[in-house]
Structure 1
Amino acid sequence: MAVVTNLDPKRRKSTPLDELTSLVSQDLDSVNELILANMHSSVEMIPQLAGYIIAAGGKRLRPVLTLAAAQLCGYRGENHKMLAAVVEFIHTATLLHDDVVDESDLRRGLASANAVFGNKASVLVGDFLFSRAFELMVGVGSLDVLRILSKASAVIAEGEVLQLQTSNDTETSEQAYLEVIKAKTAELFAAACRVGAVVAARPQAEEMALYDYGMNLGIAFQLVDDVLDYSAKQAKLGKTVGDDFREGKITLPIVLAFRRGNDEERAFWRRTMEELDQQDGDLERAQQLMVRHNALKDTVERARHYGAIARDALGLFPDSAVKRALLDVIDFVIDRDY
């Protein structure tokens, strides 16, 4: 019996993230306009490089979360749009810096900005975007918002340095790994959601509930990302499978496989991850060891744990379409192809 596959992208089944995005679509259009307007500079390379990475961007998940959180809190003003643009600038700046630090050649399946424009330009344009983000924050006129997003920026930078300290170290503990991803990834998710309540002048309980939602969603997101690096196809993932392995990046699947392995297997991990002495077939063996010791499966189970905490955090809010969409996004983040 023949199997018919729908190859028409216009008829692709919508995802929970698509549903959430549709609820804030008009606001998101305004955010995209703000992003384009505020990355302008008389220095030609700045909008050229910034436009390159932003145009190659993904689903705008973080600014969508800011818009959705503001809607969940009943906000009726305009400042949430500016804050969503700020969140995207901070995120884009960190991507530019990340790719330089990691010496990455690809970003979502395309040549990374540093591969096209060089490391120096990428770092400096990242600095420009951080600075522009702070300029926009000041324009919103909220000290609370400035405090939350400036702290998030500092925590992200700390996470980058912390990752350098654990890089190529197979003795890294699960707790140390979690500290890295909380700082590098989850803190911006948390701040993006929290400012939606702050701009709406909601009680602190709602503000912190949205912070907890974003933090735990961000942890789950990164856990699954780390699984995808060893199990997804490049066409679905948008990057070369095994990038983390080739860079010697210590993620939870490595931590679990190393601790559960025997002496010979630990020697393999030390050679490939610490010494970066990698040979043909080593990636395949790494994947086999992860399967043998349930490292990928258990990493996803941990993601489900944090997803459940994120779900509980929204219990404070009354039922609504945007709340249901935010809950559905948790499952979407965890159940990506792996």
Structure 2
Amino acid sequence: MPSEFFFSTINEDLNSLNYNLQNMVGAKHPILHASSEHLFSAGGKRIRPAIILLVSQATLNNYIIHTEHKRLAEITEIIHTASLVHDDIIDEGLTRRGVTTVHSIFSTKIAVLAGDFLFAQSSWYLANLHNLEVVKTISKVIIDFAEGEIRQGLIIFDSTMSMNQYVEKSFYKTASLIAASCKSASILSQVILEQQNACYLYGKHLGLAFQIIDDILDIIGSIKSLGKPSSSDLKNGNLTAPILFALTESQELQNLINKEFEDKEDIKCAILLIYNSKGLQKAKDLAEEHIQIAINSMQFAADYKIYKNLVLMGQYILERLY
């Protein structure tokens, strides 16, 4: 797998990140500490920190990642994890990254507090980077998370939802954090504004591709590959790229969605209809388009040896399907 190479260049930093995350959530209250530690011990692929570390290398002359870039990667993962805690409450999910969700182990009240605590922790570490532009850039993400959740809640089981609405929702829920973090990494590297904006686009379109692949895996993937039970988006009425593409071909699928899968076999029937449509392939094509836009946006780094790692990250996101 080509991705093994680029991970090896940042592997030491990712290992340090895993260690630091469990130490950064040092809540004084034992339940808050236990719930936070439980999340980070679950691991995950750490895609977001990996992207930030690669962008940091691409915007530094000597490729040596600075301490503040590493801290930014940690902050990003804390923010992402906080959002997952709240997502799981809303979705009533029982597992995440192969382990039981916080609200299932403790309670909904504790999970809400744990998520809030992690957001607060990330804000404190963010302030300690002593860079106002980075603070402003990352802070906007918290607003975007809330916006994404509200938008999603308003359009569940809405078979008239457009692809533009889906992409916009995916930006708020996933791509916003990656885009803002990539731009923040470049701000810390003190590159010119044009390159900062290029890094933002790289993160945005990688983030959109990542979400689309996630949505494909929700239809075809196992619990192990996705980190949560498959088809959960479909069951919850969250209409994603493969479903929207399949809807253009199938009136029967539209009928099932409109009646919100009221019969026992409706979900299985809907999945079969999506499988037999061109929805999955069209969604994959859309993800590839976003990855190509991401790679093209980083042309300013094309002469650097680190550029191939930025390309390989895009390939790695696609490889999650195989």
Measured against aligned partners, the alpha-carbon deviations of 1:61-107 in whole angstroms (never above 9, x if no partner) come to 11122222111111653211111111011000000000001111111
CA distance in 1, matches of 2:32, 2:152: 28
Contact 1:148 1:195 in 2 (8 A): yes
Partner of 1:226: 215
CA distance in 2, matches of 1:47, 1:259: 47
- Could you tell me how far 1:299 is from its partner in structure 2? 0.7
Measured against aligned partners, the alpha-carbon deviations of 1:260-302 in whole angstroms (never above 9, x if no partner) come to 223x44212212xxx341413x333212211333111111111
| Number of residue pairs the alignment of both structures matches | 319
Contact 1:109 1:240 in 2 (8 A): no
Contact 1:159 1:184 in 2 (8 A): yes
| 1:127 and 2:116 are equivalent in the alignment | yes
Query: Does the C-alpha gap of structure 1 residues 195 and 231 become closer, same or farther in structure 2, counting only changes over 3 Å?
Result: same
Contact 1:317 1:323 in 2 (8 A): yes
Measured against aligned partners, the alpha-carbon deviations of 1:171-191 in whole angstroms (never above 9, x if no partner) come to 211111111001100011111
> Tell me, what secondary structure is at the counterpart of 1:185?
helix
Contact 2:2 2:312 in 1 (8 A): no
CA distance in 2, matches of 1:120, 1:15: 43
| 1:269 and 2:257 are equivalent in the alignment | yes
CA distance in 2, matches of 1:39, 1:70: 24
- Could you tell me how far 1:163 is from its partner in structure 2? 0.9
Query: What are the ranges of 5 or more consecutive residues in structure 2 without an aligned counterpart?
Result: none
Map 1:12-51 onto structure 2 (within 5 A): 16=3, 18-51=4-37
Contact 1:23 1:322 in 2 (8 A): no
Contact 1:186 1:214 in 2 (8 A): yes
Amino acid corresponding to residue 279 of structure 1 in structure 2: K
CA distance in 2, matches of 1:61, 1:159: 20
Task: Work out which of the residue numbers 66, 74, 83 in structure 2 matches 1:85.
Answer: 74
Partner of 1:5: none
Partner of 1:326: 310
Map 1:60-139 onto structure 2 (within 5 A): 60-74=46-60, 77-139=66-128
Contact 1:191 1:214 in 2 (8 A): yes
Amino acid corresponding to residue 65 of structure 1 in structure 2: I
- Could you tell me how far 1:112 is from its partner in structure 2? 1.5
The more displaced of 57-66 and 304-313 is 57-66
| 1:283 and 2:263 are equivalent in the alignment | no
Contact 2:253 2:270 in 1 (8 A): no
Contact 1:248 1:276 in 2 (8 A): no
Contact 1:34 1:82 in 2 (8 A): no
Query: Does the C-alpha gap of structure 1 residues 235 and 129 become closer, same or farther in structure 2, counting only changes over 3 Å?
Result: closer
CA distance in 1, matches of 2:243, 2:318: 19
Amino acid corresponding to residue 329 of structure 1 in structure 2: M
Query: Does the C-alpha gap of structure 1 residues 238 and 30 become closer, same or farther in structure 2, counting only changes over 3 Å?
Result: closer
Partner of 1:293: 277
- Could you tell me how far 1:15 is from its partner in structure 2? 5.3
Amino acid corresponding to residue 117 of structure 1 in structure 2: F
Question: What TM-score results when the alignment is normalised by the length of structure 1?
Answer: 0.89
| 1:148 and 2:137 are equivalent in the alignment | yes
Amino acid corresponding to residue 316 of structure 2 in structure 1: F
Task: Work out which of the residue numbers 147, 153, 171 in structure 2 matches 1:164.
Answer: 153
CA distance in 1, matches of 2:9, 2:65: 14
Amino acid corresponding to residue 93 of structure 1 in structure 2: A
Task: Work out which of the residue numbers 170, 174, 182 in structure 2 matches 1:185.
Answer: 174
CA distance in 1, matches of 2:214, 2:230: 11
Question: What TM-score results when the alignment is normalised by the length of structure 2?
Answer: 0.93
- Could you tell me how far 1:55 is from its partner in structure 2? 1.1
Partner of 1:260: 249
Measured against aligned partners, the alpha-carbon deviations of 1:296-337 in whole angstroms (never above 9, x if no partner) come to 111111111111101101111143443211211111212322
Amino acid corresponding to residue 268 of structure 1 in structure 2: L
CA distance in 2, matches of 1:143, 1:68: 23
